Amino acid sequence: MDEIRARIDAYFKIVVKNVRDTVPKTIGFFLVRASQDKLQFELYNQVTKSDAMASALGEPQRVTEERNMLTNTLKILKNSIKVLQRDPE
């Protein structure tokens, strides 16, 4: 009976030690995770607020104009194809 009691006490000590080790690690994990999320959110807000940052990260004005011009040309060509397919002569 004493041996069973000793084994149960040893097992209980191991469980208590594991809980004591795990709880601070878990709390630290959630604190770090919350800090990371908040920091990421604040950085994102600062980047999106800044017009200078948006213009630095965006494409050059010349590329934007050329893309719009080519999109319009493509639209005109697609409409031309539709007209030619309706009236082949």
What is the per-residue pLDDT across 10-27, written as a single tens digit (0 to 9) for each? Answer: 999 999 999 999 999 999
Average pLDDT of the segment spanning 52-70 = 84
Alpha carbons within 13 angstroms on the beta-carbon side of residue 58 total: 13
Residue 32: its pLDDT value, please? Answer: 92
All structural domains of the chain with their residue ranges: 1-58, 59-89
Q: Which amino acid is at 23?
A: V
| Stated pTM of the model | 0.44
Residue 75: its pLDDT value, please? Answer: 96
User: How far is residue 12's CA from residue 81's CA, in Å, rounded to a whole number?
Assistant: 81
Residue 57 has pLDDT above 80, yes or no: no
Average pLDDT of the segment spanning 20-44 = 91
